[in-house]
Structure 1
Protein backbone atom coordinates (compact mmCIF):
# COMPACT_ATOMS: atom_id res chain seq x y z
CA UNK A 1 0.00 0.00 0.00
CA UNK A 2 1.27 3.47 -0.85
CA UNK A 3 -0.27 6.82 0.00
CA UNK A 4 -2.03 9.13 -2.46
CA UNK A 5 -2.89 12.80 -2.04
CA UNK A 6 -6.66 12.38 -1.72
CA UNK A 7 -6.56 10.38 1.52
CA UNK A 8 -6.87 7.07 -0.29
CA UNK A 9 -4.14 4.59 -0.93
CA UNK A 10 -2.86 2.74 -3.94
CA UNK A 11 -3.14 -1.03 -3.80
CA UNK A 12 -0.27 -3.23 -4.95
CA UNK A 13 -0.17 -6.98 -5.47
CA UNK A 14 2.49 -9.39 -6.69
CA UNK A 15 2.60 -10.59 -10.27
CA UNK A 16 5.49 -12.79 -11.38
CA UNK A 17 7.47 -11.71 -8.35
CA UNK A 18 7.08 -7.98 -8.99
CA UNK A 19 4.90 -5.32 -7.44
CA UNK A 20 1.84 -4.49 -9.58
CA UNK A 21 -0.44 -1.49 -9.07
CA UNK A 22 -4.14 -2.40 -9.02
CA UNK A 23 -5.21 0.73 -10.88
CA UNK A 24 -8.96 0.16 -10.81
CA UNK A 25 -9.08 -0.27 -7.01
CA UNK A 26 -8.48 2.19 -4.22
CA UNK A 27 -8.01 1.83 -0.50
CA UNK A 28 -9.90 3.88 2.08
CA UNK A 29 -8.88 4.48 5.67
CA UNK A 30 -11.34 4.67 8.54
CA UNK A 31 -10.80 5.06 12.24
CA UNK A 32 -7.99 6.63 14.22
CA UNK A 33 -4.92 5.10 12.59
CA UNK A 34 -3.26 7.66 10.26
CA UNK A 35 -3.04 6.51 6.62
CA UNK A 36 0.71 7.17 6.54
CA UNK A 37 1.21 4.36 9.09
CA UNK A 38 0.09 1.85 6.42
CA UNK A 39 2.53 3.07 3.75
CA UNK A 40 4.70 0.25 2.41
CA UNK A 41 2.99 -2.32 4.64
CA UNK A 42 0.97 -5.45 3.86
CA UNK A 43 -2.62 -4.54 4.75
CA UNK A 44 -5.64 -6.78 5.37
CA UNK A 45 -8.71 -5.25 3.76
CA UNK A 46 -12.47 -5.66 3.57
CA UNK A 47 -14.66 -4.72 0.61
CA UNK A 48 -17.29 -1.98 0.83
CA UNK A 49 -19.80 -3.04 -1.85
CA UNK A 50 -21.74 0.23 -1.71
CA UNK A 51 -18.72 2.49 -2.24
CA UNK A 52 -16.81 -0.10 -4.29
CA UNK A 53 -13.63 0.50 -2.34
CA UNK A 54 -11.28 -1.59 -0.20
CA UNK A 55 -11.19 -0.63 3.50
CA UNK A 56 -7.90 -0.96 5.40
CA UNK A 57 -8.49 -3.10 8.48
CA UNK A 58 -5.06 -3.89 9.92
CA UNK A 59 -1.40 -4.29 9.08
CA UNK A 60 -0.43 -7.93 8.47
CA UNK A 61 2.70 -8.49 10.54
CA UNK A 62 2.86 -12.18 9.59
CA UNK A 63 3.42 -11.49 5.86
CA UNK A 64 6.27 -9.86 3.99
CA UNK A 65 4.81 -9.97 0.45
CA UNK A 66 1.36 -9.04 -0.82
CA UNK A 67 -1.03 -11.57 -2.33
CA UNK A 68 -0.51 -12.69 -5.88
CA UNK A 69 -2.74 -10.97 -8.44
CA UNK A 70 -4.53 -14.26 -9.24
CA UNK A 71 -5.33 -14.84 -5.57
CA UNK A 72 -6.75 -11.35 -5.19
CA UNK A 73 -8.87 -11.65 -8.34
CA UNK A 74 -10.30 -14.95 -7.07
CA UNK A 75 -11.18 -13.29 -3.77
CA UNK A 76 -12.87 -10.42 -5.62
CA UNK A 77 -14.85 -12.91 -7.74
CA UNK A 78 -15.89 -14.78 -4.59
CA UNK A 79 -17.07 -11.55 -2.96
CA UNK A 80 -19.01 -10.58 -6.08
CA UNK A 81 -20.63 -14.04 -6.26
CA UNK A 82 -22.14 -13.23 -2.84
CA UNK A 83 -22.95 -16.83 -1.93
CA UNK A 84 -24.69 -16.73 1.44
CA UNK A 85 -25.00 -19.55 3.95
CA UNK A 86 -28.66 -19.90 2.99
CA UNK A 87 -27.84 -20.28 -0.72
CA UNK A 88 -25.12 -22.81 0.06
CA UNK A 89 -27.34 -24.90 2.35
CA UNK A 90 -30.18 -24.87 -0.20
CA UNK A 91 -27.83 -26.15 -2.89
CA UNK A 92 -26.53 -28.90 -0.61
CA UNK A 93 -30.06 -29.98 0.32
CA UNK A 94 -31.10 -29.95 -3.35
CA UNK A 95 -28.09 -31.98 -4.51
CA UNK A 96 -27.81 -34.29 -1.50
CA UNK A 97 -31.39 -34.72 -0.24
CA UNK A 98 -30.64 -37.69 2.00
CA UNK A 99 -27.79 -36.04 3.90
CA UNK A 100 -27.96 -34.05 7.11
CA UNK A 101 -26.56 -30.56 6.73
CA UNK A 102 -25.09 -28.91 9.82
CA UNK A 103 -25.18 -25.17 10.35
CA UNK A 104 -23.81 -23.58 13.51
CA UNK A 105 -24.44 -26.74 15.51
CA UNK A 106 -27.95 -27.38 14.14
CA UNK A 107 -28.94 -30.23 11.86
CA UNK A 108 -30.99 -29.15 8.87
CA UNK A 109 -33.06 -31.76 7.06
Structure 2
Protein backbone atom coordinates (compact mmCIF):
# COMPACT_ATOMS: atom_id res chain seq x y z
CA UNK A 1 0.00 0.00 0.00
CA UNK A 2 2.90 2.36 0.64
CA UNK A 3 3.83 2.69 -3.01
CA UNK A 4 0.24 3.27 -4.11
CA UNK A 5 -1.30 5.33 -1.33
CA UNK A 6 1.71 6.68 0.55
CA UNK A 7 2.76 5.90 4.10
CA UNK A 8 -0.71 6.34 5.61
CA UNK A 9 -3.77 4.37 4.42
CA UNK A 10 -6.45 6.30 2.48
CA UNK A 11 -9.07 8.10 4.57
CA UNK A 12 -12.00 7.04 2.38
CA UNK A 13 -12.93 3.42 1.77
CA UNK A 14 -12.16 2.12 -1.70
CA UNK A 15 -15.31 0.46 -3.09
CA UNK A 16 -14.48 -2.87 -4.75
CA UNK A 17 -18.04 -4.20 -4.89
CA UNK A 18 -18.30 -5.31 -8.51
CA UNK A 19 -21.43 -7.07 -9.70
CA UNK A 20 -21.01 -10.51 -11.22
CA UNK A 21 -22.48 -11.07 -14.69
CA UNK A 22 -22.75 -14.49 -16.34
CA UNK A 23 -24.05 -15.35 -19.82
CA UNK A 24 -24.08 -18.59 -21.77
CA UNK A 25 -24.58 -18.42 -25.53
CA UNK A 26 -25.00 -21.10 -28.18
CA UNK A 27 -21.86 -21.29 -30.34
CA UNK A 28 -22.66 -24.12 -32.73
CA UNK A 29 -23.80 -27.71 -32.18
CA UNK A 30 -20.56 -28.73 -30.49
CA UNK A 31 -20.00 -25.99 -27.93
CA UNK A 32 -21.33 -23.02 -26.00
CA UNK A 33 -19.73 -19.71 -25.10
CA UNK A 34 -19.59 -18.71 -21.42
CA UNK A 35 -18.99 -15.06 -20.46
CA UNK A 36 -18.05 -14.16 -16.87
CA UNK A 37 -17.48 -10.67 -15.47
CA UNK A 38 -16.63 -10.39 -11.78
CA UNK A 39 -14.24 -8.84 -9.27
CA UNK A 40 -10.64 -9.87 -9.90
CA UNK A 41 -8.61 -11.68 -7.26
CA UNK A 42 -5.59 -13.98 -7.17
CA UNK A 43 -6.37 -17.51 -8.34
CA UNK A 44 -9.71 -16.59 -9.93
CA UNK A 45 -9.04 -18.26 -13.28
CA UNK A 46 -8.02 -21.56 -11.67
CA UNK A 47 -11.08 -21.48 -9.40
CA UNK A 48 -13.43 -20.74 -12.33
CA UNK A 49 -12.10 -23.66 -14.39
CA UNK A 50 -12.25 -25.97 -11.35
CA UNK A 51 -15.88 -25.02 -10.66
CA UNK A 52 -16.84 -25.56 -14.30
CA UNK A 53 -15.12 -28.94 -14.55
CA UNK A 54 -16.51 -30.07 -11.17
CA UNK A 55 -19.96 -30.24 -12.80
CA UNK A 56 -18.57 -32.30 -15.72
CA UNK A 57 -18.49 -29.48 -18.25
CA UNK A 58 -15.38 -29.49 -20.44
CA UNK A 59 -13.47 -26.27 -21.07
CA UNK A 60 -12.12 -26.28 -24.63
CA UNK A 61 -10.43 -22.88 -24.53
CA UNK A 62 -10.61 -19.62 -22.70
CA UNK A 63 -9.60 -16.01 -22.71
CA UNK A 64 -9.04 -13.98 -19.54
CA UNK A 65 -8.56 -10.23 -19.22
CA UNK A 66 -8.59 -7.71 -16.40
CA UNK A 67 -9.54 -4.05 -16.44
CA UNK A 68 -8.56 -2.61 -13.08
CA UNK A 69 -10.51 -4.59 -10.50
CA UNK A 70 -12.81 -6.18 -13.12
CA UNK A 71 -12.02 -9.64 -14.51
CA UNK A 72 -13.52 -10.71 -17.82
CA UNK A 73 -13.36 -14.35 -18.89
CA UNK A 74 -14.70 -16.08 -21.99
CA UNK A 75 -14.73 -19.88 -22.22
CA UNK A 76 -15.70 -22.31 -24.97
CA UNK A 77 -17.40 -25.14 -23.09
CA UNK A 78 -19.24 -28.34 -23.93
CA UNK A 79 -20.93 -31.28 -22.27
CA UNK A 80 -19.95 -34.64 -23.79
CA UNK A 81 -18.97 -32.91 -27.04
CA UNK A 82 -22.27 -31.04 -27.44
CA UNK A 83 -23.47 -27.50 -26.73
CA UNK A 84 -25.04 -26.94 -23.31
CA UNK A 85 -28.82 -27.30 -23.19
CA UNK A 86 -30.84 -24.69 -21.25
CA UNK A 87 -31.14 -26.68 -17.97
CA UNK A 88 -27.38 -27.32 -17.93
CA UNK A 89 -26.73 -23.65 -18.70
CA UNK A 90 -28.78 -22.79 -15.61
CA UNK A 91 -26.86 -25.31 -13.46
CA UNK A 92 -23.58 -23.77 -14.66
CA UNK A 93 -24.77 -20.21 -14.00
CA UNK A 94 -26.09 -21.13 -10.53
CA UNK A 95 -22.87 -22.93 -9.61
CA UNK A 96 -20.70 -20.02 -10.66
CA UNK A 97 -22.96 -17.44 -8.98
CA UNK A 98 -22.79 -19.42 -5.73
CA UNK A 99 -19.03 -19.86 -5.97
CA UNK A 100 -18.36 -16.19 -6.79
CA UNK A 101 -20.61 -14.89 -3.98
CA UNK A 102 -19.19 -17.28 -1.38
CA UNK A 103 -16.94 -15.49 1.10
CA UNK A 104 -13.36 -16.66 0.94
CA UNK A 105 -11.58 -17.83 4.05
CA UNK A 106 -7.82 -17.62 4.41
CA UNK A 107 -6.07 -20.91 5.21
CA UNK A 108 -4.18 -19.23 8.06
CA UNK A 109 -7.42 -18.30 9.85
CA UNK A 110 -8.06 -21.87 11.00
Q: Do they fold alike, i.e. is TM over 0.5? A: no
Q: TM-score, normalised by structure 1?
A: 0.30
Q: How high is the TM-score relative to the length of structure 2? A: 0.30
Which structure would you say has the larger Rg? 1
Identify, as 1 or 2, the structure richer in strand. 1
